[in-house]
Amino acid sequence: MSNLIKQLQSKPEEYRRMVALVASISITIVLFVVWISVMQKNIFLSDTTQVEKQTSKVASPIQSLKSGFIRLTSSVTEQVSATIDSLGEIEYKKDIIE
């Protein structure tokens, strides 16, 4: 692998860009084919009623983003409160020592 990289480094920039483009397109195609095959398998294995039941249980993307944002803000608020409390304890201990 390192020999291949060294050989590519010695090639002109235009050739290296072409290799990078072909590699990225190839990887994208492979990922797309795998994704489609998994999705196709899921669709053919389950009845439409089962799919409808599963999709009704899944939250919409906006609801997911909203709940994620709420969890994030509550987590940040807790962290900020804990930090402020810690700083207050440090100040309190500093006053006691002096």
For the chain, the domains span: 1-58, 59-98
Q: What pLDDT, on a 0 to 100 scale, did the predictor assign at position 55?
A: 56
Contacts of 9 (CB under 8 A, 6+ apart): 16
How many other C-beta atoms are found inside a 10 Å radius of the C-beta of residue 64? 11
Q: What pLDDT, on a 0 to 100 scale, did the predictor assign at position 92?
A: 56
Q: In this model, does residue 39 exceed pLDDT 70?
A: yes
The residue type found at 60 is: S
Q: In this model, does residue 51 exceed pLDDT 60?
A: no
How far is it, in rounded angstroms, from Cα 92 to Cα 90? 5
Q: In this model, does residue 46 exceed pLDDT 60?
A: no
* Rg, C-alpha atoms of the chain: 27
